[in-house]
Amino acid sequence: MRTVLVSGGVISGIGKGIIASSAGLLLKTKGLRVTAIKIDPYLNIDAGTLGPLEHGECFVLADGGECDLDLGNYERYLGIQLTRDSNITTGKIYNLVLQKERRGDYLGKTVQVVPHITDAIQEHIERVSKIPVDDSGEEPDICIIELGGTVGDIESMPFIEALNQYRHKVGKENFFCINVTYVPVIHGEEKTKPTQHAIKQFRSAGLAPDLIACRCEHKIEETTVQKIARSCQVDYEQVMTVWDMDTIYQVPLILRDQGLLEVLTRGLRLDKLDLSPSRTEKGAELWELWKDTVVPKQHWDPVHIVLVGKYTALDDSYLSVRKSLEHAAMRCRRRLNLVSVDSEHLEESTLHKDPTKYHRAWNAVCEAQGLVVPGGFSARGVEGMIRTAQWARERKIPYLGLCLGMQVAVIEAARNLCHLEGATSEEFDAQAEHRVCVFMPEGSKEQLGGTMRLGTRPTHFVEGSEWSNLRALYHGASIVYERHRHRYEVNPDYVEELEKAGLNFIGKDDTGRRMEIVELKDHPFFVGLQSHPELTSRVLVPSPAVLGFVAASAGCLKQIIDETRAQQIVLNGSGDATHF
Ligand code: GLN
């Protein structure tokens, strides 16, 4: 097992995850099997209880693990399926060690950060890096480990110690360090000092760089690269620059051009791996497909999508939704023009407080070719989402409701089609007369962490739903699998009335009592899903639901459905689309 460790210096949030994913993708194009682990040195056990406005979205894995959004990047880039253990947090490791201590496993011993926490980290890495993550069912050849935060932070110290011990154990020749730094430009001058300091810091932590990846806004000068190599005592070939690209999917292209694969091959003796010709061929095919898909076509027409949500202050809050829209737009051969609107700005209260904001928000909604309402929790901004669903339904604008977005579409129909005054979800008003969305019986209101309906669950298309556009995009399947993360669901007591009013619940869970998909018939595309289909969208295999929505918004739904019928995409056992 070979390991590539990606850690960062200078500042956080400069795209370590993208560089790590790109390195993984390039290794895959050589026919290698790649897995990934993300280390987050915070105390939360998982990302389920973190606010999206602070940390970005909580990514949900097939097994229901609630984790850091970088795991989503790995799944999207590498076409793999990770498990909850692929995300390590300080809290998770301490929890494990403390449970053992209480059980008496260390009886008589003092339990310490070194060796008990550091051993637990290594054992975890060793175990998880061997779990098969693709259709081959085989152990991966390489594990990419991304260490969150910046080297030098107090909280990442135990992980760095553990990783140093781990490198010693597996051998230097099986361990490759990519150090990501930042090169700012001050008054037109490219500054290398932060990188020099960061590399000093890395070295004193024991993590000497095999490769320095410099993030920068624009391509940096040759002379700057030479200066960094010289002052950090590495070869020129070991310094690469990653400048801002039109799309992040082009990062593998520029890293490959700069020789990343050669440096990795040398550093990890990859030529010693005896790969079958079919694996090498598959890798080469993947590269061709990737190159072809991610190069932006300037002549493509734009498709104007408006996302109406409550966490719009931070783009990362809806990262997977954004990515899935990008994937779908690429398939539709359109340039995605995505605008976010804070749903609260669409409400009457904003009109009184700040009319400019209100009118600006509505102006954006009016200009949308398609409206998407993503997931969310609690009452703030929900009225604005309900009004968005109404606008889309009445004006026949394509609508995609994801989780909460489906629930608000149902609330809207209850109010305006069934005339159930004040209809809402129990989540927003537990005393309301018409609670058209209710708390799920198996949920827990006391314990918030990890107690939602989480992970991959099946949805059965009902008989007579053959007319459905969405179903056609799922290749006419009768059962589909998507990931979930919710506490509330459509109240079964209102389903009959809602169906009479024209809402078609065409997808249900195993029991038939839980509504999973709603679609309108006399509408270009109006779909709500209780699941989060955006989570399994891949660069080369867009989510059927998001694809349908973008295609309808761009006016090419029929063409995309015809293309889908002609294609063969197999669904694997867990229900995620089989990846390239
Ligand atoms: N708040 C809603 C629920 O818990 C929707 C959740 C979501 O959008 N992820 O059911």
Q: For 529-568, write each residue's pLDDT tens digit.
A: 999 999 999 988 999 999 999 999 999 999 999 998 887 5
310 lines ligand 1 (CB under 6 A): no
Q: Ligand 1 centre and the CA of 378: distance in Å?
A: 8
Rounded Cα distance between 30 and 33, Å, is 9
**Choice among 166-180, 310-324, 392-406, 419-433 with the minimum mean pLDDT:** 310-324
Question: What dihedral angle (degrees, nearest 10) is formed by the CA atoms of 281, 287, 292, 296?
Answer: 180
Q: Ligand 1 centre and the CA of 407: distance in Å?
A: 8
Pocket test for ligand 1, best of 485, 491, 534 (most atoms within 8 A of CB): 485
Region 18-25: mean pLDDT is: 96
Region 218-225: mean pLDDT is: 94
Rounded Cα distance between 69 and 74, Å, is 9
Q: For 328-341, write each residue's pLDDT tens digit.
A: 999 999 999 999 99
The neighbouring-strand residues paired with 34 are 142
Per-residue CA distances from 244 to 133, 147, 533 (Å): 30, 22, 28
Pocket test for ligand 1, best of 488, 509, 514 (most atoms within 8 A of CB): 488
CB 483 within 8 A of CB 491: no
SS3 of residue 36 by DSSP: strand
Return the residue whose CA atom lies nearest to atom 6 of ligand 1.
486
Q: Ligand 1 centre and the CA of 59: distance in Å?
A: 14
SS3 of residue 411 by DSSP: helix
Q: What is the pLDDT of residue 85?
A: 95
Return the residue whose CA atom lies nearest to atom 8 of ligand 1.
375
User: What's the mean pLDDT when you consider all of the chain?
Assistant: 93
382 lines ligand 1 (CB under 6 A): no
Structural domains of the chain in order of their starting residue, each with its CATH number = 20-32+180-292 (3.40.50.300), 36-139 (no CATH), 301-457+485-558 (3.40.50.880)
Q: What is the pLDDT of residue 568?
A: 59
What phi and psi values does residue 35 have, to the nearest 5 degrees?
A: -120, 175
Return the residue whose CA atom lies nearest to atom 9 of ligand 1.
375
Cα torsion angle, 98, 99, 104, 105, sign = negative
Return the residue whose CA atom lies nearest to atom 5 of ligand 1.
404
485 lines ligand 1 (CB under 6 A): yes
Q: Ligand 1 centre and the CA of 435: distance in Å?
A: 15
Return the residue whose CA atom lies nearest to atom 7 of ligand 1.
375
Q: Which amino acid is at 516?
A: E
Residue 578 in this model has a pLDDT that exceeds 70 = no
487 lines ligand 1 (CB under 6 A): yes
Q: Ligand 1 centre and the CA of 427: distance in Å?
A: 9
Q: For 225-262, write each residue's pLDDT tens digit.
A: 999 999 999 999 999 999 998 888 899 999 999 999 99
404 lines ligand 1 (CB under 6 A): yes
If residue 484 lies in a helix (H) or strand (E), which one and from where to where?
strand 479-486
437 lines ligand 1 (CB under 6 A): no
Q: For 58-93, write each residue's pLDDT tens digit.
A: 999 999 999 999 999 999 999 999 999 999 999 999
In the structure, what pLDDT confidence band is assigned to residue 444 with cuts at 50, 70 and 90?
low
Q: Ligand 1 centre and the CA of 425: distance in Å?
A: 10
Region 510-514: mean pLDDT is: 93
Q: Ligand 1 centre and the CA of 391: distance in Å?
A: 22
77 lines ligand 1 (CB under 6 A): no
CB 148 within 8 A of CB 68: yes
Q: What is the pLDDT of residue 579?
A: 33
Neighbours of 53 (CB within 10 A): 13
Residue 196 in this model has a pLDDT that exceeds 80 = yes
Q: For 134-153, write each residue's pLDDT tens digit.
A: 988 999 999 999 999 888 88
Report, as residue numbers or ranges, the catalytic residues.
Answer: 403, 532, 534
Per-residue CA distances from 27 to 34, 92, 252, 286, 456 (Å): 7, 29, 10, 11, 28
57 lines ligand 1 (CB under 6 A): no
In the structure, what pLDDT confidence band is assigned to residue 569 with cuts at 50, 70 and 90?
low
Residue 295 in this model has a pLDDT that exceeds 90 = no
Instruction: State percent of the chain over pLDDT 70.
Output: 96
Residue 580 in this model has a pLDDT that exceeds 80 = no
Atom of ligand 1 nearest to the CA of 437: 10
Rounded Cα distance between 524 and 509, Å, is 25
Q: Ligand 1 centre and the CA of 406: distance in Å?
A: 9
Rounded Cα distance between 373 and 404, Å, is 8
Region 368-373: mean pLDDT is: 98
Instruction: State percent of the chain over pLDDT 90.
Output: 84
Pocket test for ligand 1, best of 487, 529, 534 (most atoms within 8 A of CB): 487
Q: Ligand 1 centre and the CA of 365: distance in Å?
A: 23
Q: For 341-350, write each residue's pLDDT tens digit.
A: 999 999 999 9
158 lines ligand 1 (CB under 6 A): no
CB 235 within 8 A of CB 5: no
Q: Which amino acid is at 358?
A: Y
375 lines ligand 1 (CB under 6 A): yes
Return the residue whose CA atom lies nearest to atom 1 of ligand 1.
377
Atom of ligand 1 nearest to the CA of 376: 8
309 lines ligand 1 (CB under 6 A): no
428 lines ligand 1 (CB under 6 A): no
486 lines ligand 1 (CB under 6 A): yes
